Amino acid sequence: MAWSTPKTNWTSTDGIAYGDLNRIEANTVDLDSRLDTLESSNTLHVADTDIHATKATVRTASDLALRLQLTTTDSGHSSGDIWLRTDL
């Protein structure tokens, strides 16, 4: 089902009609399907272990968290690129 814009201008005298309940149910179904899509997408990415590196080059132990630093500058490269440092 497609997302429909919720009613946001409720007043104390407004009653809930069938159309309101249908819209609420449709939006709940839409959010549930979006969540399912995100979960399956996340599962696919977690299962993908090939990130242009071999196991030997990944320097983490099971009890040591991988520390990362994101920066937007790197000498010799154009501004605006995002660089991921793994040598911390």
Is residue 76, in this structure, part of any structural domain at all? yes
Is residue 9, in this structure, part of any structural domain at all? no
* pLDDT value of position 58: 53
Q: What angle do CA 47, 49, 50 make, to 5 degrees?
A: 135
Per-residue pLDDT of the chain (88 residues; tens, 9 = 90+): 678 888 888 888 888 889 889 998 999 998 888 888 777 666 655 555 555 555 555 555 444 455 555 555 555 656 555 566 666 5
- Specify whether the CB–CB gap between 2 and 25 falls below 8 A: no
Host domain of residue 39? 18-85
Q: How many CB atoms lie within 10 A of CB 4?
A: 13
Is residue 1, in this structure, part of any structural domain at all? no
Q: pTM higher than 0.75, yes or no?
A: no
Number of domains into which the chain is organized: 1
